[in-house]
Structures are given as C-alpha cells and as structure tokens.
Amino acid sequence: MISVQATGSQPPLFFVPTGFGDCSYVLRLVGEMDVDCPVYALPWPSFNNLCPPTLEAIAAETIVAIRKIQPQGPYRFAGYSSGGILAYAIAQLLLGRDEAISFMALIDVTLPANVTKISPIQMVRDVVLDSFEPLDDESFEVLEQFAGQGSIAQLLEKGQQIGAIALDRNLHNDVLMYERTARFHEALQAYQVPTLPIVIHQFYATEALFSSRARQAKSSLCPEARSPMRGWDRVLSPEAITAVPIVGDHVTMMSVLENRKALARAISTPLTGVLEKDP
C-alpha cells in the first residue's frame, strides 16, 4: 500500500494498479488533484497463492489491505485501464458484505462485449513488441518472428542481444512482471461482470490509441472502445454512468501534463460533492 496523500477530512480514495501492476500513474495524477482526503495506491497481489487466479480472488486479497486502512465503508475507488475492472470486482465483493460504495472512477476502462481470442501470453508478447517500436524494420521483424516461438523471457533476451534493451539491464524483474500480467489478464477473461447497484464516472479518452506495428494486423478496435460509456451500459443503466471526455488517447490522457491536469480536475469535482450525498 502506497500512501500518496496522508491526510484529509473525507474518506480515503483508493487507486487500483493497472493490468501491469503499475501504480506510477497515481503519483502523477494525484499531484494535480484537489481533494480533501487521504489517497492510497493499492498493492498488486503476488498471485503466489492464487492457482488459477480469478479476479474475485485477487479482489479478496486486495480487500484485506483496504480494510487495514478503512475497516468500514462507504468506500471510494478509482482505476485506470483494465485496473478499473479489478476496482469493479472489489466493489462487488464489498457490496456482498453489506458495505457501501460511494464513488467509482473508471479512467478509460473498456468492457468488451466479446472475450478476445488472443491468449493472455500472446497479448503480453504484443506488449513486449510494442516496447521495441523504435527499432528499424529489419530488427523488428526478427523479434516479431521470434515472438511466436519462444517464451517471454526468451523474447526479452533476444531483444537484449540485438540492442533493443541495454546489455547491463537485469531482465529478471521484467520477466516476473510480464508473467504476472499474463495471469492477471487470464483472470480478466474469465470474469463475468455483474450488474451492481452503483454509479460510475467513466473518464474516457477522446482520441483513438495509435495502432502499433505489433497490433496493426491482429485486430480492429472493438466498438465498445469508441463509445463514451466504453461498453459499461451493457451491465449498468445509462443513468448510472456519467461519461466525461478527456483530451488525449488512452496513453496521452495521462502522460501529457495538460491532459492529466484536465483529468485531475474532472475527478476532483465529483469527489468534493460525494460526501454531501452520502446517507
């Protein structure tokens, strides 16, 4: 658990890590927010005891950490990218324990209608290939052909051999992170998203994400990724979703300072009024 903002008069706000276990976005975003509450970045479970992992099991482990900070609700959550689906699964379990959810922010979180046919391991391979995007075409093609034959560790080692990764970089932590990412996305694919009695704020990117060489030929953008509600109107009524446009694509809405400032303001605004609406 990372304490991003230690004090405040309102209940805590918990940010969920992305599908890569990344919490670095929280530090930058909260630095631009104006909220009167403690803010925490939740830890990513180790997955060591979760075989096979399910999103419900991951959520249950995360709730243990949450309740050490806040034993009772109402709870407030935010999640970016596929981490937002984990935030929703956490809310599901807490509601099942008669707790209240007073705020749920989804930051460009798409809920596809059809489970992707790409395996979690292949998805991670594509992400690794994305990191090699600056390479010349010949080197990239070598790695692309190699990606379908070897493991994630072997692909990273090959990238290091041809100069795409610094020779002095220890790949051990990278391999662990990508393997855990594959397990998380395996859990995502198996998760049956329920209808919950909550309202959500969907802060959606107004621009389409650039299609990299690794993803270009594999699949077109799903229709849900073009909708302001990002597919959540399949499980929630439109009245339960407040869709808020944020300039940028899925990456630049967070990475570009002006876009991130706009996102921070957009999240801060409903948070300052949520406490007044709580019973």
Given this model, what pLDDT does residue 275 score?
45
pLDDT band at 30 (very low <50, low <70, confident <90, very high): very high
Task: Report the mean per-residue pLDDT for the chain.
Answer: 85
Please name the residue ranges forming H helices in the chain. Answer: 24-30, 55-69, 83-96, 120-131, 137-147, 152-161, 172-190, 213-216, 252-255, 257-277
Which two three-digit tokens encode residue 122?
Answer: 């292949």
Given this model, what pLDDT does residue 171 score?
84
Q: Which of 8-12, 151-155, 265-269 has the lowest mean pLDDT?
A: 151-155
Please compute, for residue 238, the number of CA atoms within 13 A of its CA located in the half-sphere on the CB side: 2
* SS3 label, residue 204: strand
| pLDDT for 172 beyond 90 | no
| pLDDT for 214 beyond 80 | no
Q: Are 36 and 19 in contact (CB under 8 A)?
A: no
pLDDT band at 277 (very low <50, low <70, confident <90, very high): very low
Total-model pTM = 0.85
C-alpha to C-alpha distance for 48 and 50, rounded to whole angstroms = 6
Given this model, what pLDDT does residue 101 score?
96
For the segment 116-140, what is each residue's pLDDT rounded down to a tens digit?
Answer: 666 777 777 777 777 777 677 777 7
Q: What mean pLDDT is predicted for residues 72-100?
A: 95
| pLDDT for 144 beyond 80 | no
Given this model, what pLDDT does residue 48 score?
66
* SS3 label, residue 194: coil
Given this model, what pLDDT does residue 274 score?
52
pLDDT band at 210 (very low <50, low <70, confident <90, very high): low
pLDDT band at 212 (very low <50, low <70, confident <90, very high): low
The residue ranges of every structural domain in the chain are: 2-111+193-277, 120-186
For the segment 71-85, what is each residue's pLDDT rounded down to a tens digit?
Answer: 998 999 999 999 999
Percent of the chain beyond pLDDT 90? 49
Which CATH code fits 2-111+193-277? Answer: 3.40.50.1820
pLDDT band at 109 (very low <50, low <70, confident <90, very high): very high
228 burial via Cβ count (<10 Å: 0-12, 13-18, 19+) = middle
For the segment 42-55, what is each residue's pLDDT rounded down to a tens digit?
Answer: 988 776 665 678 89
Q: What mean pLDDT is predicted for residues 188-204?
A: 94
Higher-scoring residue by pLDDT: 235, 73: 235
Given this model, what pLDDT does residue 218 score?
44
Which two three-digit tokens encode residue 126?
Answer: 């594509």
